[in-house]
Amino acid sequence: MATFPRFFVVSVVVFSCFGVTAYGALFSSIQKTLLLNSSPSQGQVLQAGEEQVTITWSLNKSYPTGTDSNYKIVKVKLCYAPVSQVDRGWRKSNDNLEKDKTCQFNVVTIPYKPSNNNFTWTIEKDVPTATYFIRAYVYDYAGEVVAYGQTTDAHKKTNLFKITAITGRHVTMDICAACFSAFSVVSLVGFYYAEKKMAKSTQQ
Ligand SMILES: *[C@@H]1O[C@H](CO)[C@@H](O)[C@H](O)[C@H]1NC(C)=O
């Protein structure tokens, strides 16, 4: 092996190891210190773009005082339940949070406080039909993920809810409505001029 390629290979290996240890926080290594609740009942079906989810959270007081001294930011996310991840690589869970695709929708990013947190989220229009739960990640002052909380249990079986996407029919109806309003404006203008012209010709 020539000097250059060997150096190159060694650098790649060194940097990728460094990359994994430095940036790949593992889900299994962060503490579940937040207690999180969401408004939908188990199995409830909600319409994207219309209905709302209220999320409340607080620090689990069973942890020793000072556990949250380095907590800075909370990021609340909407996450796919296992039933909606089957055969879908693009939604796959990964213990390395850099690669994890479980929680793809941001609900809110908000400064940390230990209690009295609640947020009402109108489900965004681009959320696809699936089964979901809510998870919140806690970031420290260095920007690292250090803790979390979630509305479901460790097996992601309880407190799951469903969201129904805005269907093609909704979109078609929106387009039709837009066309009709454009048409009505055009015809209004048309009638106005036709009438004006008629008035003019009757005057003459
Ligand atoms: C709070 O944390 C303790 C210690 O980890 C745990 O045993 C307990 O189940 C948690 N409480 C709730 C309501 O999850």
pLDDT tens digits for range 82-122: 999 999 999 999 999 999 999 999 999 999 999 999 999 99
Q: Which mutation among 57, 62, 63, 67 tests ligand 1's pocket best, with the greatest number of atoms within 8 A of CB? A: 62
Average pLDDT of the chain is 87
Cβ atoms of 155 and 83 closer than 8 Å: no
CATH superfamily membership of 22-164 = Macroglobulin (MG2) domain (2.60.40.1930)
Residue 40: other Cβ atoms inside 10 A: 21
Spacing, Cα 60 to ligand 1 middle (Å): 7
Higher pLDDT, 198 or 21: 198
Is the pLDDT at 36 greater than 70? The verdict is yes
Using alpha carbons, select from 34, 32, 1 the residue that is nearest to residue 117: 34
Q: What angle do CA 55, 60, 62 make, to 5 degrees?
A: 165
Lowest average pLDDT, out of 63-72, 130-139, 141-150, 180-189, goes to 180-189
Give me the pLDDT at residue 133, please: 98
